[in-house]
Structure 1
């Protein structure tokens, strides 16, 4: 038996290939084409109805979250809520940032409310402004690190889970000494210099984590579908 699984907001194909390797009927979708040229990638806006196509599981990999996370809060509001921020990013207006905030909220809620039994949405811990727009019963994100699955890297990843278990570490690595050369290499994502591809490269999934997700979440979703 195979799942019908949809990997949302992914162009790299990392998660799609992990589920496909386990025999599932898996597709990916994004507003951009797939990097690997796969014919199992659908270019579309997730709000156009693709989430209604009878999936057993959706895994939302990189929804826009810059304005929803705690680190982006300072650009959205000053003290209190929705007061003028002390500073704005260079070349941006508050109208730009609030439009991005509204888009992030809409896309997250579209995925969370989709009529799919099993859902995993990648998103960091939300700031208070975003949390105010979420359902009262939204669980806290399950936080994991790539090095818990065998990748030599730091990048805290949050998963909002619906009818899926928390990921169990599969190959936890001993962490390097703080400040050492190896520790700096593990922080390469956070230390990545500015550039046109920085956002895309920083958001790439780790194959090791996606292998664990495909194995653990796929097995769980299959049991529910049986």
Structure 2
């Protein structure tokens, strides 16, 4: 299967798909952190390149409810972010999964198909994440574990805090690869 992993610099989801024999390519404005097939640049021109599936992780900066107190000050940025999400969801790709934390996508575009937590996939942490799915089944938990640490939320201030917080948990990536590809 030909899979586009949009807005992913880490290569975590891309590499999980490739380990299962798929032609997976990541795409992000940033270079990849992990060697592998990667398009550095805007994903929008590549949406019509004949993909069978896309898993996308659009930036949550202007969408996540955790930043709702700043929404009034950044209405233009939020409108642009929502337009980007719509473009991804409307892409001419048969199977689409869009991932984002709890956000205004659910009220401004459509409700998430499901919400998942890292602790359902082998990581003793919390980070409620929505999945907006097209022609894909909801993810089934693979390894429910104890522990409910909010490590991602408590990540200390640093220049790359946003980057550390945005990497997909490996257990979730593995479940996507096993259940969707």
Counterpart of 2:77 (choices 93, 100, 103) is 100
Counterpart of 1:25 (choices 6, 23, 33) is 23
Partner of 1:67: 62
Query: How big is the shift at 1:203?
Result: 0.7
Contact 1:125–1:141, Cα closer than 8 Å, also in 2: no
Query: How big is the shift at 1:140?
Result: 2.6
Other structure's SS at 1:100 match: helix
Q: Partners in 2 of 1:125 and 1:155 — Cα distance? A: 9
Hey, which of these two has a bigger chunk of strand by percent? 2
Structure 2 spans left out of the alignment, 5+ residues: none
Partner of 2:152: 189
Counterpart of 2:145 (choices 145, 148, 173) is 173
Q: Partners in 2 of 1:207 and 1:111 — Cα distance? A: 23
2:113 is equivalent to residue 153 of structure 1? no
1:110-163 C-alpha deviation (Å, 9 max, x unpaired): 1000011100001233338x733x2xxx34341111111111221111111111
Partner of 2:8: 10
Contact 1:151–1:208, Cα closer than 8 Å, also in 2: yes
Q: Partners in 2 of 1:111 and 1:28 — Cα distance? A: 14
* Largest Rg, 1 or 2: 1
Query: How big is the shift at 1:107?
Result: 1.3
Across the aligned residues of Structure 1 and Structure 2, the Cα RMSD in angstroms comes to 1.7
Partner of 1:203: 166
Counterpart of 1:131 (choices 107, 113, 129) is 107
Q: Partners in 2 of 1:214 and 1:36 — Cα distance? A: 18
Q: Partners in 2 of 1:125 and 1:56 — Cα distance? A: 27
Contact 1:139–1:161, Cα closer than 8 Å, also in 2: no
In the TM superposition, structure 1's runs of 4+ consecutive aligned residues that sit over 6 Å from their partners are none
Partner of 1:84: none
Q: Partners in 1 of 2:90 and 2:137 — Cα distance? A: 18
Q: Partners in 1 of 2:111 and 2:70 — Cα distance? A: 25
Query: How big is the shift at 1:66?
Result: 2.3
Q: Partners in 2 of 1:33 and 1:24 — Cα distance? A: 21
**How many residues matched?**
181
Query: How big is the shift at 1:36?
Result: 1.7
Q: Partners in 2 of 1:103 and 1:206 — Cα distance? A: 27
1:37-82 C-alpha deviation (Å, 9 max, x unpaired): 32x10012122x2010010100002x122222222222123xxxxx
